[in-house]
């Protein structure tokens, strides 16, 4: 727990493009003292440090020993999360990490076990949950406006993030789909998958059939064979016995419609509401919740265990694809 009135001292690990968003959100908060950043290369790290008035390091343990932060926030290349995250955990510092937690379940288990032994605050940035349309979706479901859920549809795709890993899209991008569908619809009991490497560079496009513990069904289509420039590149649709909701492009639009009604309720950001229409601001809203929980000494609003669960579902999909069979999971 952080004493009232004292600023939270934060260090960053990662000086890349999304690491800049970490620097932005923390630097703008009056309750945070952002002190330092550690990166992989001196030039990039010094540039980021200069931009935000921070001290620069190229060694994570050295930064932690010198700065002694209250909280560490990490944003590294997708395949390079494990080592630096473990260094922070072994040094005993609370942390916020980016998705995916790791690409390897055994590594994810090591991170979670290490943090658990030390009683560390361990959050993961599934920031899509905090988009205004997703918050409205959660509220509608919790109020029972959809009735009993029957099926959900998730689609998300854009240009390829070049990676040597054959299942990069599934693990590093569709993790948001696994996370959102379980958060809104309950646990997924089984997965069946088809994938294609038609365009090279791994299995960039996949279609999954899901069964939820409630008996509802779901489908996921994920791809790196598309474009983020397309309208409706992301769509989430959840149907129930009393109504249906639709989320378009994560932050753009929310629609709810009662079954049998030809009139729909729609939210979309107004003329002056740049905050809710901007995707990056989903991180700002999530960080509000993260830091409030951290100050109180509570568990994170999205614990790193959610990253492990998304990874478990991704590897179940891989197992299904490779075996040609349905894979059943335990939550």
Quick check: helix, strand or coil at residue 225?
Answer: coil
Averaged confidence pLDDT in the chain: 97
Quick check: helix, strand or coil at residue 59?
Answer: coil
Interval 259-296: pLDDT, tens: 999 999 999 999 999 999 999 999 999 999 999 999 99
Quick check: helix, strand or coil at residue 132?
Answer: helix
Q: Given 3.40.50.1100, 3.40.50.720, 3.40.50.150, 1.10.10.10, which CATH number is that of 8-120?
A: 3.40.50.720
Q: How far is residue 93 CA from its own chain's centroid?
A: 21
Interval 223-234: pLDDT, tens: 999 999 999 999
Interval 32-62: pLDDT, tens: 999 999 999 999 999 999 999 999 999 999 9
What are phi and psi for residue 309, nearest 5 degrees? Answer: -65, -45
Query: What percent of the chain has a predicted confidence (pLDDT) above 90?
Result: 97
**CA dist., res. 25 & res. 38, Å (int):** 17
Residue 123's pLDDT is 98
Beta partners for residue 38, in sequence order: 13, 57
**What is the band of 16 on the pLDDT scale with cuts at 50, 70, 90?**
very high
CA atoms within 13 A on the CB side of 179: 27
What are phi and psi for residue 312, nearest 5 degrees? Answer: -60, -45
- Let me know how many helices (H) and strands (E) the chain has, helices first: 11, 15
Who contacts 39 (Cβ-Cβ below 8 Å, separation ≥6)?
13, 14, 15, 16, 19, 45, 48, 56, 57, 58
Alpha-carbon Rg for the chain in angstroms: 20
Who contacts 281 (Cβ-Cβ below 8 Å, separation ≥6)?
251, 275
What are phi and psi for residue 278, nearest 5 degrees? Answer: -95, 125
**What is the band of 3 on the pLDDT scale with cuts at 50, 70, 90?**
low
CB 84 within 8 A of CB 74: yes
Q: Where are the domains of the chain?
A: 8-120, 129-276+311-328
Residue 5's pLDDT is 74
Residue 177's pLDDT is 98
**CA dist., res. 303 & res. 143, Å (int):** 24
Beta partners for residue 123, in sequence order: 96, 303
Q: Given 3.30.360.10, 3.90.1490.10, 3.40.640.10, 1.25.40.10, which CATH number is that of 129-276+311-328?
A: 3.30.360.10
**CA dist., res. 158 & res. 274, Å (int):** 23
Residue 100: asked if its preceding bond is cis (omega within 30°), the reply is yes
What are phi and psi for residue 253, nearest 5 degrees? Answer: -160, 140
Matching fold, domains 8-120 and 129-276+311-328: no
**CA dist., res. 105 & res. 19, Å (int):** 24
Interval 137-193: pLDDT, tens: 999 999 999 999 999 999 999 999 899 999 999 999 999 999 999 999 999 999 999
Task: Return the beta strands (E) in the chain as ranges.
Answer: 8-13, 32-38, 55-57, 71-74, 95-97, 122-124, 149-157, 188-196, 205-212, 217-223, 234-240, 243-248, 253-258, 264-267, 327-328
Angle between helices 81-91 and 105-118 (to 10 degrees): 10
**What is the band of 4 on the pLDDT scale with cuts at 50, 70, 90?**
low
Q: Examine the pLDDT at 331 and tell me if it is beyond 80.
A: no
What are phi and psi for residue 86, nearest 5 degrees? Answer: -65, -35
Query: What percent of the chain has a predicted confidence (pLDDT) above 70?
Result: 98
CB 156 within 8 A of CB 173: yes
Average pLDDT estimate for 228-256: 97
Q: Examine the pLDDT at 2 and tell me if it is beyond 80.
A: no
Instruction: Name the token pair of 33.
Output: 């003292």
Which has more pLDDT, 330 or 203? 203
CB 251 within 8 A of CB 131: yes
Instruction: Name the token pair of 212.
Output: 């939820």
Q: Examine the pLDDT at 76 and tell me if it is beyond 80.
A: yes
Q: Examine the pLDDT at 97 and tell me if it is beyond 80.
A: yes
**What is the band of 213 on the pLDDT scale with cuts at 50, 70, 90?**
very high
**CA dist., res. 140 & res. 137, Å (int):** 5
């Amino acid at each position: 727990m952080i004493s009232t009135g004292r600023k939270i001292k934060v260090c960053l690990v990662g000086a890349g493009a999304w690491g800049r968003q970490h620097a932005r959100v923390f630097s703008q908060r009056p309750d945070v003292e952002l002190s330092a950043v550690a990166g992989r290369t001196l030039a990039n790290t010094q540039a980021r440090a200069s931009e935000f008035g921070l001290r620069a390091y190229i060694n994570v343990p050295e930064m932690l020993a010198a700065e002694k932060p209250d909280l560490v926030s990490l944003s590294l290349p997708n395949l390079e999360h494990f080592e630096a995250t473990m260094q922070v955990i072994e040094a005993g510092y609370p942390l916020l990490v980016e998705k995916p937690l790791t690409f390897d379940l055994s590594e994810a288990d090591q991170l979670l076990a290490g943090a658990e032994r030390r009683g560390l605050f361990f959050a993961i940035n599934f920031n899509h949950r905090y988009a205004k349309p997703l918050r409205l979706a959660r509220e509608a479901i919790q109020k029972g406006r959809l009735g009993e859920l029957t099926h959900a549809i998730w689609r998300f795709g854009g240009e390829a993030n070049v990676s040597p890993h054959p299942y990069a899209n599934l693990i590093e991008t569709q993790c948001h789909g696994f996370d959102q569908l379980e958060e809104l619809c309950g646990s997924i009991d089984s997965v069946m998958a088809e994938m294609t490497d038609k365009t090279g560079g791994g299995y960039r496009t996949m279609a999954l059939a899901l069964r939820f513990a409630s008996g509802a069904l779901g489908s996921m289509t994920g791809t790196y064979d598309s474009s983020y420039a397309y309208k409706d590149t992301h769509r989430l649709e959840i149907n129930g016995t009393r109504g249906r909701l639709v989320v378009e492009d994560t932050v753009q639009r929310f629609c709810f419609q009662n079954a049998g009604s030809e009139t729909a309720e729609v939210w979309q950001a107004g003329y002056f509401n740049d905050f809710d229409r901007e995707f990056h601001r989903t991180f700002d809203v999530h960080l509000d919740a993260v830091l409030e929980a951290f100050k109180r000494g509570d568990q994170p609003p999205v614990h790193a265990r959610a990253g492990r669960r998304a990874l478990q579902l991704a590897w179940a999909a891989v197992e299904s694809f490779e075996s040609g069979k349905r894979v059943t999971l335990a939550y």
